[in-house]
Amino acid sequence: MAKRKIIMLVSDGLGDRPSARLEHKTPLQAASTPNLDELSVSSSLGLVYPIAPGVTPGSDTSHLALFGLDPYIYYRGRGPFEALGADMDLGPGDLAFRGNFATVDDNFMVLDRRAGRELPEAPDLVSYLNERLKIQGVRVALRHTTEHRFALVIREAGREAEVTDTDPHVTGERILPCKPKNASPESARMAAVVNSITAEAHTLLESHPLNEKRKKDGRQKANAILLRGGGTLSELPGVPVRYSLSAACISGTAVIRGICKALQIETPRVAGVTGDSKTDIKAKARAVIRALDEKDFVFVHFKATDAAGHDKNPELKVTMVEKLDQLVGEIMNGLKGNEVFAVTADHSTPVDLGEHSADPVPLLISAPDVFADGGRFTESAAAFGHIGRLRGLDLMGVLLNQANRVEKFGE
Ligand code: ZN
Ligand code: ZN
């Protein structure tokens, strides 16, 4: 039988729990989703534990699992993916972090983890640090990503280098001293380097003219950097070789773009695809259909459902589910009808929790010859679907089978 093409659409943090603020419905149940409803009627449904029951996934570990890579083997921190997503090159021993500009007092007590959040000066401050931040014996590079955030890479740190965060993750606490996470000499050396970077960055930023101006204007100084998610890139098997598929990713979210790059999935930049609630749905769908002309496997990521969950805003999440539905509709319009189209999530971000949870997420698979479950695409309908319950690691295999792309094991 002919091999089919595969579209995997992941709506970040889509899953939820019944909320009293939505008359005990989930956002998926409360939203008006005509396109998902139409797709769902002829699809198989199921539930996915992205990593395992009782494990609350991060977006990074979950996406590795959804691409079929065990995060317990391959995950070494989010930093490398952020750096790749910011279009930085990454060598095997480069140690990469996610970073924030923050406001601290003279004792390195964190007053604001986001330096007032509004930080239009961030790209200039990053350039300044790139020029001036000199730590003996190492090369350090930064690249601005979004708002007050950046990626920071220490070149040739060593493959064994593993160190802790300096970000205390809360205000009112001091910047944490960086410590080695293992006994390797690289880790000990890098912990010291990171502590020097923290001190030196504070000195440089404290007296920067842009910060003097911010202070005069009554705004918080961006006078410190907080680092987290430090790690080196492990050797990851590429998706194209592993599954004999040509592959593309359509996403505006740095960490997801970075993961896809690390897995050798082509990751074009698409104008208007921003990775937030303002993303251009039509541009995104067009990019998907274009990619599908050339590729066997197209991965699409929709971020805004997760952000609404973190904001504990049920109405916003309903609106974002409806935006996801528009994206699904636009993609459906461009399909030929013989593809495998899967819609799922990387984890739940329940609006009453405001954080990721370990709940399983709904999965829909549409293809010409699936067992159709009928009904809507919701968490509760998915619990009774033909697919049953999967772990994230199994999803690629299930999709490949539906696409007639799995080779026989044995004679
Ligand atoms: Zn996520
Ligand atoms: Zn999240």
Write the CATH number for 361.
3.40.720.10
CA 306 to centroid of ligand 2, rounded, Å:
5
CA 9 to centroid of ligand 1, rounded, Å:
13
CA 253 to centroid of ligand 2, rounded, Å:
12
CA 326 to centroid of ligand 1, rounded, Å:
20
Name the closest ligand to CA 392. Answer: 1
Statement to judge: residues 205 and 114 lie in one domain: yes
| pLDDT in the model for residue 149 | 93
Look at residues 203, 231, 259 and tell me which one is the last residue of a structural domain.
Answer: 231
Name the closest ligand to CA 62. Answer: 1
- Residue 71 makes CB contacts below 8 A (sequence gap 6+) with 51, 60, 61, 62, 64, 65
Name the closest ligand to CA 347. Answer: 1
CA 18 to centroid of ligand 1, rounded, Å:
19
Statement to judge: residues 250 and 215 lie in one domain: no
In order, the DSSP letters of 55-70 are ----HHHHHHHHTT--
> Is there a domain that residue 411 lies in?
no
Query: Nearest 5°: phi and psi at 113?
Result: -70, -15
| pLDDT in the model for residue 379 | 98
> Is there a domain that residue 410 lies in?
no
Q: Do β-strands 95-104 and 43-49 pair in parallel, antiparallel, or remain unpaired?
A: unpaired
CA 88 to centroid of ligand 1, rounded, Å:
22
Look at residues 231, 255, 270 and tell me which one is the last residue of a structural domain.
Answer: 231
Statement to judge: residues 119 and 181 lie in one domain: yes
CA 314 to centroid of ligand 2, rounded, Å:
15
Statement to judge: residues 150 and 292 lie in one domain: no
Ion ligand 2 neighbours, Cβ < 5 Å: 306
Name the closest ligand to CA 14. Answer: 1
> Is there a domain that residue 407 lies in?
no
Cα distances (Å, whole numbers) of residue 30 to 10, 24, 37, 316, 323? 19, 9, 13, 12, 13
CA 259 to centroid of ligand 1, rounded, Å:
12
How much is the pTM?
0.92
> Is there a domain that residue 11 lies in?
yes
| pLDDT in the model for residue 75 | 94
Name the closest ligand to CA 60. Answer: 1
CA 208 to centroid of ligand 1, rounded, Å:
36
Statement to judge: residues 130 and 215 lie in one domain: yes
| pLDDT in the model for residue 277 | 83
Name the closest ligand to CA 309. Answer: 2
Name the closest ligand to CA 12. Answer: 1
> Is there a domain that residue 87 lies in?
yes
CA 80 to centroid of ligand 2, rounded, Å:
18
Statement to judge: residues 244 and 96 lie in one domain: no
Positions of the chain with pLDDT under 50: none
Task: List the domain range (segments joined by +) for residue 145.
Answer: 82-231
- DSSP E strand boundaries for 312-399: 340-344, 361-366, 388-391
Statement to judge: residues 150 and 49 lie in one domain: no
Statement to judge: residues 258 and 388 lie in one domain: yes
Q: Mind listing the pLDDT tens digit for each residue in 261-294?
A: 999 999 999 998 888 888 899 999 999 999 999 9
Statement to judge: residues 259 and 375 lie in one domain: yes
What is the number of domains present in the chain? Answer: 2
CA 293 to centroid of ligand 2, rounded, Å:
31
Residue ranges in 105-159 assigned as alpha helix (H): 122-132
> Is there a domain that residue 211 lies in?
yes
